[in-house]
């Protein structure tokens, strides 16, 4: 019997829509509830305790919507909660473990780069996961603070010298280190793939955490008889701040149009 309960996805903002995009691509029949905590974005500059508090509230909201599993699409949240015990009543997936596994499989010279928010990089979560899988790998990291605001503004073209200069400034040390694999450790970063590839070169493999996670979720659902095998999935979107700008940003990140009336604002502090 198909399990029609939705997949729950949350992020500090709308960047997690790039993860949803990969889920939809692989599992178009799954129902999805997406929550973007746009009222408290960004999480990347917050303390560990505050990030954990926000994550618990986000998870509670999704559980109240009867989801069958929860995905922390946020790299910052994943870096904090990955090492905490899972007390949720449903399976929990984070983006770091699967990105690390994909990167270890992809590297040829055992030099992997990781870019992300300040909180993600300072947690060293990717590095820990990578070294657990292969202790001989060298891991090079760089916090790329301006990537998210550039994406949010729609400044993502590889032909824009301002964008190219900004990305080059962050990535040049990683390029000089000789990494052949680069983990895009924030959900916004895949939108900058063309620019990042232009800076790093075609020989560097870019790891999209959303793609790695989607593959793991698909395997889990199929192996546990939890897949929805009926009609095309239904998608619900919730945010914690005004919904007015959602449509434009969602179209860029998700790759398809989201009708304004499908987005609802909730008071996450009252969940």
What positions carry a catalytic annotation?
74, 186
Beta strands in 118-255 (DSSP E): 138-143, 181-184, 205-207, 235-239
Sheet bearing 7-11, strands edge to edge: 92-94, 69-72, 7-11, 32-36, 235-239, 263-265
| Separation between Cα atoms, residue 126 and residue 141, nearest integer Å | 9
Q: Which two tokens stand for residue 202?
A: 């075609």
What's the distance, Cα to Cα, between the start and end of the chain in Å? 31
**Residue in the structure block whose two tokens are 């619900």:** 236
| Separation between Cα atoms, residue 266 and residue 243, nearest integer Å | 10
7-11/69-72 β-pairing: parallel
Strand partners for 247 = none
Sheet bearing 181-184, strands edge to edge: 138-143, 111-116, 181-184, 205-207
Residue 71's nearest CA partner among 126, 33, 45 is: 33
| Separation between Cα atoms, residue 201 and residue 175, nearest integer Å | 9
């Amino acid at each position: 019997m198909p399990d029609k309960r939705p997949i729950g996805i949350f992020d500090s903002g709308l960047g997690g829509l790039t993860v949803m995009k990969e889920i939809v691509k692989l599992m178009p029949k799954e129902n999805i509830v997406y929550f973007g905590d746009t009222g408290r974005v960004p999480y990347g500059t917050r303390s560990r305790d505050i990030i954990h508090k926000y994550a618990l509230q986000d998870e509670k909201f999704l559980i109240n919507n009867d989801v069958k599993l929860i995905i922390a699409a946020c790299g910052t949240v994943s870096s904090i909660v990955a090492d905490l015990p899972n007390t949720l009543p449903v399976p929990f997936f984070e983006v770091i473990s699967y990105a690390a596994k994909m990167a270890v499989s992809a590297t040829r010279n055992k030099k992997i780069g990781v870019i992300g928010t300040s909180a993600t990089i300072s947690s060293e979560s990717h590095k820990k996961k990578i070294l657990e899988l292969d202790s001989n790998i060298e891991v090079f990291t760089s916090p790329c603070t301006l990537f998210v605001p550039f994406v949010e503004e729609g400044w993502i073209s590889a032909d824009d010298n301002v964008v190219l200069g900004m990305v080059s400034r962050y990535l040049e040390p990683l390029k000089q280190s000789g990494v052949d694999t680069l983990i895009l450790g924030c959900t916004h970063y895949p939108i900058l793939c063309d620019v990042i590839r232009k800076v790093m070169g075609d020989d560097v493999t870019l790891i999209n955490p959303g793609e790695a996670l989607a593959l793991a979720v698909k395997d889990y659902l199929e192996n546990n008889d939890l897949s929805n095998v009926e009609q095309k999935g239904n998608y619900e979107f919730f945010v914690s701040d005004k919904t007015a700008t959602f449509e434009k940003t969602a179209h860029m990140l998700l790759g398809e149009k989201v009708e304004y009336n499908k987005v609802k604002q909730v008071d996450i502090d009252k969940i």
